[in-house]
Structure 1
Amino acid sequence: MSRTSADLAVVGATVHTLDPARPAATAIAVRGGTVLAVGDDAEIGSLCDARTEIVDGTGVTVTPGLTDGHLHPVHGSLMTAGLDLSQCRDVDELRGTLAESRRDLAAGDWIRGFGLDPNILGGQRPHRRLVDDVLGEVPALLVLADAHAALASGAALRLAGVTGPVELPGNSEVVCDADGNPTGEILEDAAKRIIERAAPETDPADTADLLADLFQRMHATGLTGGHVMDLDDGSLAALRLLDERGLATPRLRLAPWCQPGIDGSGLRELIDLQGTSGRLWTVAGVKLFMDGTIDNGTAWLEHPDCHGESTKPYWLPPSEYAEAVGTLARAGVATATHAIGDAAVTFALDCLARYERPCVGGARHRIEHLETLPDELVQRMSASGVAASMQPSHLQYTKADHTDNWSTRLGGERANRAWRCADLVRAGATLVLGSDWPIAHFDPREVLGAARLRRLPGRPDSDPVQSSQALTAREALEAMTVAPAEVAGEQHVAGRISPGFRADLTGFGVDLLTAGPDELAEAPVRLTVVDGAVVHRA
C-alpha cells in the first residue's frame, strides 16, 4: 500500500463536514485513524488501492462522529442491570413488579431498581411502607428517575446499619420521620452510598462485560464518543480490561467527582489523575455538584419551591465549593459543575469568573443541566465563556400543562424557563447536548429529535414543552459534534470532517439536516467509525 493511500474510504455519500472551508462532499478517505482527504468520488478514488476498504455510501448521510456531552457508562451499566421501574404507572404496578421480581431471587440477593418516576406516587414522598410488605426481608434499593434520590426497603436499611439520622456532608440525607425513624427516602450520593456498601460488590470483569455490551449498543445508535461525568464504580479497572481485550470503545473523556468534605490531599489526587489514559479514553476534567434536583427538593433555587424546599446548595458551606473550584482552576483543570437551580448557576458563575487562566489543553469550564434560567443568567452564560451542557430529552419528565412534579414544584413562571437551549445558542453561548444516560436514553437520535421538537421524537401525542426553545437541525447537530470538541479544547482535531482531523464518523440512512425531526426516532444508522475503524455497519 502506498504511503498516501487510504485504509478506509466512504464513497457515494452525502457528507456534511461542518467544515466551513468545504461544507459538502460525497467521499472521505481515512488513513491511520485520521481523515486523509475529503472530496468527490473521483478525488477519493485516486487515493484507494487494492487494500483499501471501500464503503458504498449510497443513501447514507455522513456527519462528524456524534458525541454525547454528558453520560455515565459504568454507573449506568450497573444501575440498568437491575429492575426497570420506568414503566410502572402507579404504586400498585410498582408493588406488583417488585413481588414478581422477588420470586426469582436467591438467598442474599438484592433487588436493585431504577427509573422510578416520582409522579406515580400521587404527591407523597417515597416511603418504605409502600413496598416493605411485598418485599419482606428482601433488601431493595430503588433509584428514582433523576438518580439523585432512592427508596431503600426496611431490610436494606437494616443491613446498612441505618437506624436513625446519619450525619452526612453537603445536603445528602437519610430522611427520618418525626420520631427519628428512617422512612427509606435517600437523598443524594453520600446517603445512597451508605446503602450501596451493604450490597454485594460487582467484579471488575463483570463490569467490563457490561461496558462492552453498552458500547456496542452505543455505536449502533451512531455515537462515537462521550464526555463521562464520573470515575466511580471501578471505571478505570473496567476500561483497562477492555483495552487488554482489544475491544472497540467510544472516545471518552472522564471527569472524576469532587465531593463535599474533600481536603487538600484529595484535590491533589484529582489533579494528579488528569491525563491518565488508555487507547481511546482519558481523564480530563473534574465534576462537582452545586445542587441536586428539582424533583426531590434538593436543587438550589433563588426562591423555595411549592413545598418550601430546594433552598440550599449541595456544598455546605458553599465557600468550600469555591475553594475547591479555585484549587482546580489554578491547576489548569477544567471543571464541570452540576447546577440545576438558578441560585446554583449564579454561584457557580460567580466562582468561575475569578479564574481567567486557560485550562490545560484549551478545555473550557462548563455548567451541567441549567434547567430553569431567568433572562439575566442566559446573558451571563454567554458573556462568561463557560459552556452550557444540557439534556433536552429530559423534557420527557415534564408536561406542557405543568401538571408534573418538576413543574408543580417550580410554579408556572419558573417552569416556563425550562431548558432554554435556543435562547442560550442565540445569545452566543456554547451549547453541548447529551443524554445524562442512564437518566435518559443515550441514543443521539432521541437527543437531537428532542432538541428540535421539545418532546421525544416519535411521540406526536405528547405536547411540546416551551416550543420557542427548539433548535434548528444544524444547531442540534453542531451541539453534538462541533461544540463538544470546542469545550474539550479539541476543535483543531475533532468535531468536523477535514484532512488531519480524527476519523470519527456517523452515517445515517436519512439526512439529519433535512429530515423531519420525528423521522429521527427510527432513522437507520448505516455506519459508525471510531478512530478510522468501522465499529458498526448495517
Structure 2
Amino acid sequence: MSATLFTGGTVWTGGHAPQETDAVLVVDGVVAALGDDARARAAEAETVDLEGGFLMPSFGDGHAHPLYGGLEAVGPAVRPCTSVDEIVLAVKQYAEDNPDEEWIVGASYDGSLAPGGLFDARWLDAAVPDRPVVLRAWDYHTVWCNSAALQRAGITADTPDPVLGEIPHREDGSVLGTLREWGATDLVMNVMPARDEELRIGALGTAADYYLARGVTWVQDAWVEPADVATYVEAARRGALRMRFNLALYGDPRHFDSQVAQFAEQQRMVAEAANPLLTANTVKFFADGVVENETGALLQPYCSGLHSHENRGMRNWEGDSLAEAARRADELGLQIHIHAIGDAAVRQALDAIEHVVAQNGPRDRRPVIAHCQLIDDADLARFAALGVIPNMQPLWAQLDALMTVLTVPRLGTERADRQYPIRTLDTSGAPLGFGSDWPVSSGAPLDGIAVATSRRTSGGEPEGGWTPHEILPVERALSAYTAGVANQAFADNDWGVIAPAASADLVWLDRDPRAVPPLDLPGVGVRATYLRGAPAYRAENERELT
C-alpha cells in the first residue's frame, strides 16, 4: 500500500459544490479522506508539504489535437512568427538544416498576417523552390503551399473547387497557394508521404510533456483517422502514454458509409491494447468551417470579405445527412461530438441531436457541440433541454488580432458582439465544459481561464472586458475545466473532483487562482501534476533539466 498526505496549503475539492479543506489523503492512487479525517489516518503516509500553495483536481481538455500539437515541434517553428518574412525565413532555415527531408511540413502560421488570410506560394518558393512545402494555418482548416507542393498534388489553374473546399486564385487566374477546408487541403495531404511512426509516437510524448506541465491529465483528441488510431494503439501497447486520451473517430460526409463500418474495428483495436489511459468512445463531425475563411455556416450572410454578399458559409452535411449520421453513430454507443462555429451550424447540430434522441430513445449519451462561437437566441435554451455539452474555448473570447482583423469585419459589430456566450450558457443550465483546441491556440487552461474571467486580451484591452456580461466567475471557470470536462468524459465519478473514492488526478499550483487578478492567471505556476496519485510532472525536475 502507498499513501500520501497532502497538507500545508489550500485544498479545493472542485465539483458542482466545491469546498475547501487543508488536507487530503491518497491511498493507492485514490482519494481516501479529507481534512481532519485525512490527518487521523495518515500515520504511515508520506507527506507532501504544499508550502502554502493550492491543490485542486487536475484539468481536462475537452477538445484538442494532441498528435498534431506534438508534430508541430518536428517541423519549422512558424507559430512564433509575427510576419510573412519571418515565416519564410524560418522555413528556409529549416530546409537548410534538414536537406534530406523530401517534404517540408509545419504549422501553425498566423492567418491574420496576410490580407484576407490569403498567402502566396511564391513567397515560399523564395525560400524552398525545389521541394514541396506545406504549412497548416493556426486554424488547421487552411494550408499554405509552395509551387512544388501544388505541382505534386496536380493542382493547376484549371482545377475546379472540390466538394467541401476552395482553391483561391490570383487575378491572372493562376493558383495562389492557399487551400481552404478539407476538400482542398486533402488534395495535398493525400500525396504527402506518411510521417514516420516512431516520430508520431514521439509526438504523443511531446504532447504529454506539454499538457502535464500545465496541469492537464485527460485530453479529448477531437479528430483521429485510422492511421492515428494505430499510432495511439502502438503507443499504448508500449506503455508510452503518460496521461489519459479519448479518441474521437472522424466522420466525413464524403466517406461516412465506409467509415462507420470501420468504427467497431477501431474500438476493438483500442480495447485490445488494454491500457486504461486510452479509450475511443466518441465520433467527431464537422458541421461547418470557420468564420475567418467565411466557411462557418451562418443564418444570415457574411458582411463582406471573400465571397458574394449572399454567402452564408459552408454546410458540410446537406439536408438531414448529419442527423442520420449521428443516429448511426449513436446506435453504436458512440458519443456525438460536433464542431459547430456559426449559428446555422449550431442549429443543425442541435437538430441532429434532437433527431438522435427521438429515433434512438433515451440513454446517457452526453452529446457535445464544440466551439459554439455564434448561437441564435432561439437556440440557447436547447443545450440544457437536450443535455448537450457546449465545449467552448474561452481563450478565443477576446478582441485579439485574429478577431479584429478577420472575424469582426466578416460578421459585423452587432453579430460579433454575440460571440462566445459562455456565461449565458452556463446560467441556462447547460453542462458547460472547456477545451483549448490546442495546437490551434494555447493548451494551458489558466490562459483560457484568464480570458473567461475578464474577456480581455493579455494587454488588458478593452478596459472592463469585451461583452462583459459574459464574464464567468473564476470558480465556475475552474469547474468547467475540471468537473465539466470529467462530465463530458463520463468520468464524473472518477476524476475532476477531490472526493473519497475518486482517482487522485491533481494539480498543485503555487497560488490560489481565485485570489489572482484575471490577467495574472497565466503566471500562476504549476508545481506538480499527479495522475492516480503519482507525480506525472514536477516543476523542480524541469528546473534541474534547464
TM-score (norm 2): 0.89
* CA deviation map 1:514-537 (0-9, x unaligned): 222223211111221112211122
Amino acid at match of 2:28: G
- Output the CA distance in 1 between the equivalents of 2:460 and 2:493: 39
What percent of counterpart residues are identical? 29
Q: Are the equivalent residues in 2 in contact too, given 1:224–1:506 (CA < 8 A)?
A: no
| Structure 1 partner of 2:229 | 236
| Structure 1 partner of 2:532 | 531
- Output the CA distance in 2 between the equivalents of 1:337 and 1:10: 39
> Which has the larger displacement, 184-193 or 239-248?
239-248
Q: What's the C-alpha RMSD, in Å, of the aligned pairs?
A: 2.7
2:463 aligned with 1:460, yes or no? no
Q: Are the equivalent residues in 1 in contact too, given 2:9–2:51 (CA < 8 A)?
A: yes
Match 2:371 to one of 369, 372, 381: 369
Cα deviation for residue 480 of structure 1 reads 0.8
| Structure 2 partner of 1:280 | 277
Where does 1:302-451 land on structure 2 (aligned, <5 Å)? Answer: 302-305=299-302, 306-307=304-305, 308=307, 311-356=312-357, 357=360, 362-395=364-397, 398=400, 403-451=404-452
Amino acid at match of 1:478: S
- Output the CA distance in 2 between the equivalents of 1:69 and 1:192: 25
Match 1:44 to one of 26, 38, 43: 38
Amino acid at match of 1:287: K
Match 1:94 to one of 66, 87, 94: 87
**Cα distance 1:13–1:108, how it changes in 2: closer, same or farther (>3 A)?**
closer
Amino acid at match of 1:239: Y
- Output the CA distance in 2 between the equivalents of 1:352 and 1:169: 28
Cα deviation for residue 417 of structure 1 reads 1.0
- Output the CA distance in 2 between the equivalents of 1:215 and 1:255: 18
**Which blocks of at least 5 consecutive residues in structure 1 are unaligned?**
none
- Output the CA distance in 2 between the equivalents of 1:74 and 1:63: 27
Q: Are the equivalent residues in 2 in contact too, given 1:332–1:359 (CA < 8 A)?
A: no
1:156 is paired with a residue whose SS is: helix
Q: Are the equivalent residues in 1 in contact too, given 2:67–2:207 (CA < 8 A)?
A: no
* CA deviation map 1:132-185 (0-9, x unaligned): 334322311121121101111110111223335657875123445688743222
* CA deviation map 1:435-486 (0-9, x unaligned): 1000011111111112112235x53366643232111111101101111122
2:68 aligned with 1:75, yes or no? yes
Q: Select the structure that is richer in helix.
A: 2
2:453 is paired with a residue whose SS is: helix
| Structure 2 partner of 1:293 | 290
> Which has the larger displacement, 60-69 or 131-140?
131-140
Amino acid at match of 2:68: H
1:499 is paired with a residue whose SS is: coil
Amino acid at match of 1:44: A
- Output the CA distance in 2 between the equivalents of 1:12 and 1:143: 46
> Which has the larger displacement, 168-177 or 523-532?
168-177
**Cα distance 1:162–1:242, how it changes in 2: closer, same or farther (>3 A)?**
same
* CA deviation map 1:363-422 (0-9, x unaligned): 41111111122322222323332110111212467459x641111111111111121111
> Which has the larger displacement, 283-292 or 268-277?
268-277
* CA deviation map 1:476-522 (0-9, x unaligned): 01101111122233222222111111211111111122222223211
- Output the CA distance in 1 between the equivalents of 2:242 and 2:362: 26
Q: Between Structure 1 and Structure 2, how many residues are aligned? A: 528
**Cα distance 1:15–1:407, how it changes in 2: closer, same or farther (>3 A)?**
same
Structure 1 segments (4+ residues) deviating >6 Å: none
> Which has the larger displacement, 270-279 or 130-139?
270-279
- Output the CA distance in 2 between the equivalents of 1:21 and 1:434: 21
Q: Are the equivalent residues in 2 in contact too, given 1:143–1:150 (CA < 8 A)?
A: yes
> Which has the larger displacement, 307-316 or 129-138?
307-316
- Output the CA distance in 1 between the equivalents of 2:319 and 2:173: 27
Cα deviation for residue 233 of structure 1 reads 7.5
Where does 1:122-271 land on structure 2 (aligned, <5 Å)? Answer: 122-123=115-116, 125-164=118-157, 170-176=163-169, 181-232=174-225, 234-247=227-240, 249-271=242-264
* CA deviation map 1:229-260 (0-9, x unaligned): 02237433433444344445222221111001
- Output the CA distance in 2 between the equivalents of 1:185 and 1:399: 20
